[in-house]
Chains A and B, each alone.
Chain A
Amino acid sequence: MGQFLHEFFSPLDFIRAVPQVWAGFKLNLQLMIVAEALVLPLALIVAVVRGLPGRIAIPFRAAAIVYADVFRGTPLILVLLMVEGFATLNFVGLSAETLFRNGLIALVLVYTAYVSEVYRAGIESVHPSQRMAARSLGLSYMQTMRYVVLPQAIRRVVPPLLNDFIGLQKDTALVTIIGVTEAVAQAGFYSSDYLNDAAYAVAAVFFIFLTIPLARFTDSIIKNRERRERAQAV
């Protein structure tokens, strides 16, 4: 036990590692914010394309399905290595910027596929009679989508979206594998410099403190909705 505490929680190392891990963690924060800002709209586009009606849309629907299947099924770590490999073979130079960009691309590819399924579930949960009512008023397919279906669908999927966002936050740690010097990489440097693993514990604490507020926020949204819907049912 003493061995364990010393290894991960020795006060000296813990405090000394904070600035270094924090420097890396800022990259995780950037990755997560930029990735989420891209994933939310892109995934919505994929989900809407996947639901397009008619024969003309068949190739687009097929492309959306293949994309979602492939990137939901491939482990993120593989996608990271493939994006990295592709970039290394095709571009000159490996600056911190290109590494960051490669990590970002892989995260966006994988999470867009995940999140598009969340949106799709939301879209399908809107009762067909809502579309029928909108179409019967003379609204086009796209207007019906935009003003009637999507507002209801998105409100319903906010909790699972936040859940995926928490997953994305944690998965930003995986970009360490392609050499982005984020929190986990910095913790690794610290641990080999000082032969002490407290820096890993520091990184873990950072991630936990980032996800807890979001998890509670998700809980409260779900609880509020349940309360509201129960009130309606009475």
Chain B
Amino acid sequence: MSTNGHFVSLHGVTKSFGELEVLHGIDLEVGEHQVICLIGASGSGKSTLLRCINLLEQVDEGTIVVDGETVTGTKVDVNKLRQKIGIVFQSYNLFPHMTVLQNVTLAPRKALGISRDKAEAHARALLRQIGLEDKADEFPDRLSGGQQQRVAIVRALATGPKLMLLDEITSALDPQLIGEVLELVRELAGSGMTMILATHEMAFAREVANKVCFLDDGVICEEGTPEQIFSAPTQERTREFLARVLEGGRL
């Protein structure tokens, strides 16, 4: 817990790629055990924001504090920091040359220095929880998309992170496979994991989020409880976005 009572705090975060400014001054507070959903159109900066939090992208200005540590400062051990923050990507990004078990145990063994036996026992326990223990020795391309994404979540959990960042993790999945992944995220939320997720699944956001932030053109245009955002949005841009999503049949 940081001194101001927030687990993650962002202040005035900006990020540009060349001429293109993707984030223009983001302020965001996330309490411990909270689930924050970032919604917004593609290109609104959701993914970039998540990548800035675990320093996969360097912010240009502003500060990010995670668990009391200012991660945007100099002298930050990025590898240590990233062990506290798990991230899961849209395209799973499992390592294709490793079995499921090797995927899950790589970081605990090499980054944390845990013995192979211990890491494997822990990995098998995690895989058992998601019903994929029998796939431990398979290579990722033998698994369905939903199974791969669940393995990717378990891989991110294996280092014991305190914060999970989920970057549109169901966007690459066939509709019938989305449910199993969301079920796992729901369980994680239930277990008290602090999470920030970028998502297009509005119904899911409404169900699990403590707070929903609508990103538009690199700023948080509106934030509030799911009830406020989905039922009584105050900003015109939010209403327009939700109307478009509704037309698409996603709410």
Contact = CB atoms under 8 A, between A and B. Distances in A.
A133 B155 CA distance: 10
Contacts of A130: 93, 95
B86 to A, nearest CB: 8
Given A133-B89, A143-B111, A148-B95, A232 B54 contact: no
Contacts of A143: 110-111
A117 B85 CA distance: 36
A139 B110 contact: yes
A139 B111 contact: yes
Interface stretch (B12-20, B75-83, B221-229): B75-83
Nearest to B84: A138
Interface in A136-161: 136-140, 143, 147-148, 151-152, 155
B82 A136 contact: yes
Contact of A137 (B80, B91, B96, B107): B107
A199 B54 CA distance: 68
Given A137-B106, A138-B107, 6 more contacts: A133-B94, A137-B111, A137-B156, A138-B112, A148-B106, A152-B96
Nearest to B112: A138
Given A137-B82, A137-B106, A138-B79, A155 B111 contact: no
Interface of B: 54, 56, 79-83, 85-87, 89, 91, 93-97, 106-107, 110-112, 141, 155-156, 159
Nearest to A229: B141
Contacts of B107: 137-139
Q: Which A-B residue pairs are the 7 nearest by beta carbons? A: A133-B93, A137-B107, A138-B83, A138-B111, A138-B82, A136-B87, A129-B93
Contacts of B93: 129-130, 132-133
Nearest to A151: B97
A152 B155 CA distance: 19
A147 B111 contact: no
B145 to A, nearest CB: 13
A145 to B, nearest CB: 12
A156 to B, nearest CB: 10
A176 to B, nearest CB: 42
B97 A139 contact: no
A134 interface: yes
Contact of B155 (A135, A137, A140): A137
Given A137-B155, A147-B110, A155 B91 contact: no
Contact of B79 (A129, A140, A147, A232): A140
B159 A136 contact: no
A140 B155 CA distance: 17
Given A147-B110, A152-B96, A155-B97, A137 B159 contact: yes
Contacts of A138: 79-83, 107, 111-112, 159
